[in-house]
């Protein structure tokens, strides 16, 4: 018998490991490496994302993954759905003409880029990352999508850190998360 969504969620929760004071004092880092190490937990993440897409985002045409940990889940989901996957990368990693946006992180500053022809105007995209903290990264990625006139259907993350209010920063985008702290 197939596992229930509740069992899958519990499996995902059980494979997130906290580290106090990484990468800086005061940060409680939520590590998703144990999920990747366990095939059942990784399958549970992709199953739960797939179920959400089939419920609410049936028209999606592209999955957009955020550097770097969004790359771990995004291609698996895209392949399941039979749609393409594109990359939002940290500055300086993509060849050709790129568009970029600067943003603030929970623990620093950064800039993300996309290849200018990665998305066509009007294409329906879903953004995916491992974790939502302040929302700066996803906000910057949404700005990149706006520059390319793509239609963002929503954002999906494995983990949401609620006290950092990333969801508010991203309004009116819809955010789907599997595990909340």
Ligand X SMILES: Nc1ncnc2[nH]cnc12
Ligand Y SMILES: O=P(O)(O)OC[C@H]1O[C@H](OP(=O)(O)OP(=O)(O)O)[C@H](O)[C@@H]1O
Q: Which residues bind ligand X (CB under 6 A)?
A: 27-30, 106, 131, 133, 161
Residue 4 or 20: the one with the smaller Cβ distance to ligand X is 20
* Residue 137 in the binding site for ligand Y (CB under 6 A): yes
Taking the complex as a whole, the smallest distance from the CB of residue 181 to ligand X amounts, in Å, to: 9
Closest distance of CB 12 from ligand X, Å:
15
Nearer to ligand X, 24 or 54 (CB): 24
For residues 137 and 113, the answer to whether their CB atoms sit within 8 Å is no
One character per residue 70-109, x = contact with ligand Y (rule: CB under 6 A) = -----------------------------------xx---
Please identify, using beta-carbon distances, which residue of 145 and 161 lies nearer to ligand X: 161
User: 98, 118 in Cβ contact below 8 A?
Assistant: no
Q: What is the residue-wise DSSP string for 99-158?
A: EEEEEEETTEEEEEEEETTSS-TT-EEEEEEEEESSSHHHHHHHHHHHHTT-EEEEEEEE
56 CB-side CA count, 13 A: 13
């Amino acid at each position: 018998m197939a596992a229930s969504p509740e069992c899958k969620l519990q499996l995902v929760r059980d494979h997130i490991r906290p580290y106090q004071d990484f990468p800086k004092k005061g940060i409680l880092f939520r590590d998703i490496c144990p999920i990747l190490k366990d095939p059942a937990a990784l399958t549970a993440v992709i199953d739960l994302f797939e179920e959400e897409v089939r419920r609410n985002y049936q028209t999606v045409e592209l999955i957009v993954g955020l550097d770097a940990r969004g790359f771990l889940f995004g291609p698996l989901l895209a392949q399941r759905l039979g749609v393409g996957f594109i990359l939002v990368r940290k500055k300086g990693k993509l060849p050709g003409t790129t568009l970029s946006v600067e943003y603030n992180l929970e623990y620093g500053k950064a800039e993300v880029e996309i290849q200018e022809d990665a998305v066509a105007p009007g294409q329906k995209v879903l953004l995916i990352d491992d974790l939502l903290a302040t929302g700066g990264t996803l906000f910057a990625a949404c700005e990149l999508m706006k520059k390319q006139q793509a239609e963002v259907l929503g954002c999906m993350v494995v983990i949401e850190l609620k006290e950092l209010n990333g969801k508010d920063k991203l309004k009116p985008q819809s955010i789907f998360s599997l595990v909340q702290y």
